[in-house]
Structure formats: C-alpha cells, structure tokens
Structure 1
Amino acid sequence: MQEFNKQLQEEIRSGIVIETDDVKVYNPTFLVKRADGRFRKILDCRMINAITRQKRFKMDGQEQLRHLIRQGDFAITIDLKDALHYIKFSHALRPFFGFSFLGDTYTQAGLPFGWHKSP
C-alpha cells in the first residue's frame, strides 16, 4: 500500500492523475512487479475497453526497419518513461477512467496503458 501511495502521489504531482468526484466507471488498479524488482501501477482498462469501439491500425515493425538501415548507420533506444501518460485526452472521457484509493476517487488526466485506443 505504501508503494502504491508513493506512485499515486507522484502521478498527481505530474498531472497524470487528478482527484475528482465525477466518476462513472471505477476501474481496478494495482501494482505489478517488473523484472528489475520495481513496481508499476496498473489501471485495468478491461471495462472501458468493453464499452468503447476499437479502431485498428497497423504499425510498421522491425521487418520494415531492416530494409531502411544500411551498414554504418547508428541507432539508439530511448525509454520514454510515462510518455504516454502525458498525452491528454478529452475531459468528457475522464469519468470513465476512475479508480479509488483509501476512500478518495481519482481519474486519469492522460492516456493510460491498457486502453485499446492508446497508441
């Protein structure tokens, strides 16, 4: 519970999560242990996924990339920690991304992982 509260407070400070009284759907939220031993806070979006239409798109993968690179090219990887959460979405959708913790109610202000409309 202490780790969950720590992550929640950081998300509030960052503007990723806001406290609210306007919640229409309460989604389960919990911690998952990552491979490196740290924890990630998860908002289970199965309920919101069930009531929103999914729009399919195809993202190019490694196979297409292989045809673009040449010997001598450089490549890097960037870990954009929480980058998805900083993408804001419609205020009208916020009540559907609610969750509660210790009697208080919150909602996502930015896109959550797990919602099928998130990139």
Structure 2
Amino acid sequence: NKLNLIILICLKNREVYHVALNRKVCIDNEGNFRNFLAHESIYGNFKNKNITTLINDNDFTRKWFINNDSIDICRDCQFRYICFDNSDIEFTGTSWRKINQCKFDPYTNKWKDNQDII
C-alpha cells in the first residue's frame, strides 16, 4: 500500500542522508543562512547572497550528504536511522563528529541520566 511505500522511502532516505540537515536551508531572524537554526556557522545573508548561490556552495551543502553512518559514535548506535538529534557536526580531518554528543551512549546502552532503555 502507499503508506508502507512512503514509510520505506523515508527510512531509506535516513540511511543515505542526515535527517536534520538533508537539503535544508535555514534563515535566522537576522537573515543569515545556516544549515540548522541552532548551528553557529553562517554561510551568508539573504541581503547579499541569493539561494541559488548558497545551494551551489559546496561548503554549505557538504553536510546535506552526511548520514549517521558517517559520524563517530552515531555509526555504532542502534537508533541512528530514527535519530532526530540535530547537533552540529564537524569534520576532524579523518572523520565526522558531533560537536555536542547526544544523551544516549550506544556502547553502554544507557541514557546520560543512567536509565536503561532496554
């Protein structure tokens, strides 16, 4: 049925792209372009840069194509394909990592407040 197909496509997209960053352009209240509103990096302002120029900027769009399989720690997490954590990510020269780690530790299977999840 159509609903199952839509869900399957959405889940497959999560294997390929980061849920919070996939082809998104955010504009803050000052007109600055960001990958996500809470992220610090600014890629220009709508007053002096148009959207076409922005989406052709490899520096801006490179995070669009990163998935959780490519991010340290996330790649080991059983929730990586359903994760909505939108912490900023950075490339460390050899791999991607989250600037602020999420509250779940996939190695201990515990949340930071020490509650067992399973």
Higher strand share: 1
The structure with the largest alpha-carbon Rg is 1
TM score, norm. by length of structure 1: 0.28
Calculate the TM-score normalised by the size of structure 2: 0.28
